Amino acid sequence: MNRTATHCKGEHNRRQKPDAGFTLIELLVVIGILALLATVAYPQVLRYLGSARTETAKAQIGALTTALELYALDNGGFPKQQTGLTALVSKPAGATRWNGPYLKKSGGLTDPWGRAYQYRNPGRKTPFELYTLGRDNKSGGDGEDRDIVSW
């Protein structure tokens, strides 16, 4: 009785072993499908990444504009061109009514492409201009290369 049970048990284990694992062909097919999906999806991901950076720059310029307006309320005007946007983070020399910091971190002074936001006082159309030149860091452009300006 024990002998039959052992014999059947051993035979059952031998049947399962050949089915374990994948063949090389099956692995190559799966890798090919993944490569095809990546080829199709990659351009879409890059397009969304580019538009996300542009939208982030717009939101950051909006927040910086608000911080500049708060600075102007406290100090009677916008920071001078020479002082620039650092006046939002640290007290400039001679600013007696400075009630900042108006930004929590100086990291908010850089655009999504890693360059400092440009500040002009006085601006061409408004009392000040805050802008970034986009991905290409050149005036003009379309898409992710376009300029983003506070006005």
Complete edge-to-edge strand list for the sheet that includes strand 118-120: 118-120, 129-132, 148-149
Cα–Cα distances in angstroms (integers) from residue 90 to residues 36, 65, 87, 128, 129, in the given order: 52, 17, 5, 19, 20
Quote the pLDDT of residue 64. Answer: 92
pLDDT average, residue stretch 17-34: 81
Please, are residues 148 and 112 in contact by the beta-carbon 8 Å criterion? no
pTM of the model: 0.64
* Domain boundaries of the chain, sorted by first residue: 53-149
Distance CA 138, CA 116 (A): 14
Quote the pLDDT of residue 65. Answer: 92
Per the model's pLDDT, the better-predicted residue between 2 and 96 turns out to be 96
103: pLDDT confidence band, cut at 50, 70 and 90?
confident
pLDDT tens digit sequence for 28-67: 999 988 888 888 877 777 666 667 888 888 989 999 999 9
Task: Please give the CATH architecture assigned to the domain spanning 53-149.
Answer: 2-Layer Sandwich (3.30)
